[in-house]
Every structure is written in structure tokens, then in C-alpha cells.
Structure 1
Amino acid sequence: MPFQHPEEVGYGHVIERYAARNDSGRARYLVLRSGRFLRPEWPHGESFARHLIDDAATITDAELEALLGYEWRSRLTAAWLIGVDRRDRFRERIGDLLLASEVGFSGSAYCFALARFGTHADAEILAAYLDHYLPRTDLRYDQHAALGALLRLDAHLGTHHADRFTRPDGLWDQWVDALPHLRGHPAYTPVERRRSTDLQCDFANGWRRR
């Protein structure tokens, strides 16, 4: 599906209103991408979280679709808003975007949204993504985020979807070992990938709409 600027579908305001909104001196999409809002010492954390929670509750489905139809900044923002509000009616759309991996940087937000939805259907989407992309040892897409989300879902659902990826010398180890800048990196163990997703979901769970 070709990219469409939100102006083309009558929603030209959504980029400035939701993706580029300046709560903390930097555009929202940059803060979401950096993860700085997850650090307790970040001075803008409460304000950022409150605005994010409020926007997630009030943005319309049509506005979210306009964001999802454009480039990575708007898609990343939309996926976070969808995940925070647990709008699981976007499951298929998010899954299609994750599997297509048309643009960079937004895939981790899709994985967050699926982790927030929290069902077997979401685990199956993540497993399908890993089945497709972990054997591609030449690519660093969002395999790390997908594994973290899947491990979290396994823990909550009592399932074992991730086992076939994380067994010793399995697809996860092969993928990490094939990328020199990841090999031996402490952030790329399954435990750390699960912890990263837990931090994101705990952040979303820890705030309530005003």
C-alpha cells in the first residue's frame, strides 16, 4: 500500500498534533524512539506520560489510520497510542505492518502494541515475524523487540512460543552471533529483551487518564 500524507485523506493536523507534539523540548516521536521517558530521573516524565495517556484515549480511529498510512514517525507514534489504549481492533493492521517492515524504527512500537493486547493471537503474530526474520542473519530489523514481546506474552499466557527461538544455538543465538555489533552484547540476551518490554508495558500500566 503506497504511503499517503495525512493531508491527502483530510487529516493534515495529525502529524503536528500527535507525532511532533512538543511536551518536553523534543518531538514526541523522538522521545518514544529514544525511550528516555522510561528513566525515572528524566525531568519531563510525568508531563510526557499524562499527555500520552490522554491522547491515546481521545485520538479517533480515523486519525490513527491516517498516521499509520504515512512514514515511520507517524507510524511509531500511532502504534504507541494504540498500545497504550489497548485498541486491539488494530491487531490485524499492526500485524501486517510489522510483517511487511516497510520502514525503519516503527517496528518496536508495533511489538509494544501487540504485547499490550496480550492474547494468543498477538503471540502468533510475533512468532510468525520471528520465523520470517530471524533466519535473515544479514538484517537487523525489530527481531529484538519481537522476542521481548513474545517472551512477555508467554509468561502471561503460560505458553512457550519463544522456546524454539531461544534454545541454545537456536535461531536467536544464530542471529545475534551473525551480527558482530550484537555478539556478546548484554542487551541482546532473552532476559534483557523481556525486561525491556516489561519496562514499556509497566510504564503504560502505571499511568491513568486524568
Structure 2
Amino acid sequence: MGKSAVFGSDKGGVGKTTTVTNVASALANKRKSVGILKSDKNRDLLNWNIKRQQNGLPAIPVYEAYGDISKEIKRLAALHDVLLVDCAGHDSQEFRSALTVADILVTLVKPSSVFERDTLTDVTEKVRKAQKVNPALQPWVLFTRIETNKPSKVKDAIELDKFLRSDLVWVQPLKTRLSALDIFESACNEGAGVHDVARGNSLGKAKGQIELFANEIGIL
């Protein structure tokens, strides 16, 4: 039985799909068996996978399921080393049902965004409720799209990290953070991840951050 990691948020546009595809690429290139379950009805992941096949990159199966997806997560996790579940950017039956069976939750936040920080209250409530039936669930907050060349943005990350760690009722932040690197998105646009790319600005940094993240949550 492989591990299942759910990527979810109560807000769209936080970078879930871009992160999922880059993590999937890293795992595939490390010879892990990885699958992606999409529970968002947009076609982003399907289009990414078509481009991936056209570019001859290592195959990563993309599945679809909607409604109560708990049984499908269990079924697909048994087929892979790692199953990545991409949920829509809002509260949904898919997200809530995924939390009842998943091993890991990652919710993404740009620390400088008040809108994204505010999602943590409701996400934390859903997590604590899910842990009553799935006590093994390990939830994490991933700080992402941090502009490391701007001291005020770095300060926002430090302050949010300190706030979340001050009370363990909150979903806790990961030590690994993802910077605002264009290469994450440009690779995704080609059906790839940074681990499929031969060259590019900040490529080594991007690869390192993805690997550190995957290691920290225990899927690599």
C-alpha cells in the first residue's frame, strides 16, 4: 500500500496543481511509481498529461474521481508507491472525503496573502474533524511563491511560521518553502516538472526545493 498525499485548500490559485505536477515529475525521475488523482473538474491536469506524452516524458497516470473519493484513493494508493490527490480550490465533498483516508495533507499558502492565510482557519477545522476518523492523517502547511529577493515577503513567512508554531491547534508549517520561481510554472506548461528540464534559470534551486519538500513529508 503506497502513501496518499492530498493537496487541498479553501481557495483557488494557490499553486496546488503546479506543485503536484512538479512533485510527480520528481518522483517519476527517482523511479518511484506515482499516480495523480484529479478531483477538480477543470482540464489542467489532463492537458498537462497529454503534453507530457507528446514530449515523450516518463509516464504518470492521471485518474479522475468525484464526490466521495475515499474508496478510489484507497484503491489507487494500492497500485502506486505514491498517490497525489489534487482537490479543487474550495470546500468540497472531494476534499472532505479525501481527508478521512489520506496519509498526508498539504495545504498551500503564500504568506504575504491575507486571503490565503485566512483559509487556514477553516482548513484546520476540517483537518481536526477528519482526524477523529483518520488519526493517522499528517497535515502540513506549505509556504509557497515566496519572493526571496524582497525582505518584506520573507518577513511575512517568518511571522506566519512563528504564529502557527505558537499554538499546536493549527496545522503546522513545513520547514521547506517554495520560492517564486518561474521555472516551476514554465515546466508545468510543457507537460513537465523541473526534474524533466535540462536547463533553466534557478533550475538547481527549484529541484532542490521540490526534493526537500517531498522528503520532509515522507514520500521520497
What range describes the TM-score normalised by the shorter chain of this pair?
Answer: 0.3 to 0.5
Normalised TM-score (structure 2):
0.35
Higher strand share: 2
Higher helix share: 1
